[in-house]
Structure 1
């Protein structure tokens, strides 16, 4: 299936929702994995593009279904829904996936998590851990200057845009 990324950033609500990560986010995700690995840090991408339906199921966690609250937004309200966000975690040598922000698996005196965040920011990602209210520590996004409201109204980043941060 061909990716749904319109050429114009000004098309309105008839604009189809993306069905995968934006190509720049995909490229930077791969670069993040590679650059982290070169620092002796293995990461996994635990989430990327997420449909509105998947977002709604996550929203229900801790509300009408079992589990803890993991998001404050319904379908259409997350950059994941527009292919502009990823979530990551650390992968230990034994294969276990951890969300340990203090872990120093490469033994360089720095928390691996924050080393990954630093690399991500260098690549143009915004980190959810910097948010003032709901801190989302595994979350990385590229908004290309577009708000959720603009995305809901059909605006999309051009495919040939490069992340400039």
Structure 2
């Protein structure tokens, strides 16, 4: 009889522990979103991403780098067009993300390139236009990381050198389920 009570108590404790974990997890998810699963797909960059994009452009100018933002908010149709490039369309593969699978689709990512002295947009990651002995591309990436961006050049599987994102600790799966970073009143 004692063993039965011990086993029952153990199972009750385990079940309570699991319930607490589930409640905490759901609370963690809910801190990011308003209004929840019905949250619309954004139509512009998140205000914090936009603000840091402007700061990044200013800081690049301060170190004599002509930085160009080539893409920000991206529609689902544009995402699918890019995904099909190099697969069913012409050109090289530029993304492995279908519509809804990119932080661009939620206003949380930007892409960049450089402009050389002739005014031409270039994608050369070794270009040193400010002649300081360092590749401008990596200088921009470092400044972006200081501002809180994650850089695609640090990705493990697919190096996406032009890509910068701010995830606010949200996964693509969470974004697809309707979770969004909360915009604080002071940020609006």
Query: Aligned equivalents of 2:87 and 2:125: distance in 1?
Result: 26
1:107-159 deviation per Cα after TM superposition (whole angstroms, max 9, x unaligned): 11111111000000000000001011011000000000100000000000012
Matched, 1:38 2:68: no
Match of 1:89, SS? strand
Which residue of the other structure, out of 11, 19, 43, is the alignment partner of 2:43? 19
Q: Distance in 1 between matches of 2:185 and 2:120?
A: 36
Q: Which has the higher contact order (CA 8 A, sep 6+)?
A: 1
Deviations 1:94-116 (A, max 9, x none): 21000111111111111111100
Structure 1: how far apart are the matches of 2:158 and 2:73? 20
- What is residue 101 of structure 2 aligned with on the other side? 77
Displacement after TM superposition at 1:160 (Å): 2.4
Bigger radius of gyration: 2
Hey, what does 2:116 align to over in structure 1? 92
| Residue ranges of structure 1 left out of the alignment (5+ in a row) | 1-6
- Give, in whole Å, the separation in 1 of the partners of 2:48 and 2:184: 8
Q: Identify the residue that residue 150 of structure 1 maps to in structure 2.
A: 174
2:117 is paired with a residue whose SS is: coil
Q: Which residue of the partner structure matches residue 129 of structure 1? A: 153
- Normalising by structure 2, what TM-score? 0.79
Unaligned runs of 5+ in 2: 1-30
1:115 is aligned, of 139, 143, 156, to: 139
Between the aligned partners of 1:136 and 1:21, the Cα distance in structure 2 is: 19
**What's the TM-score, normalizing by structure 1?**
0.90
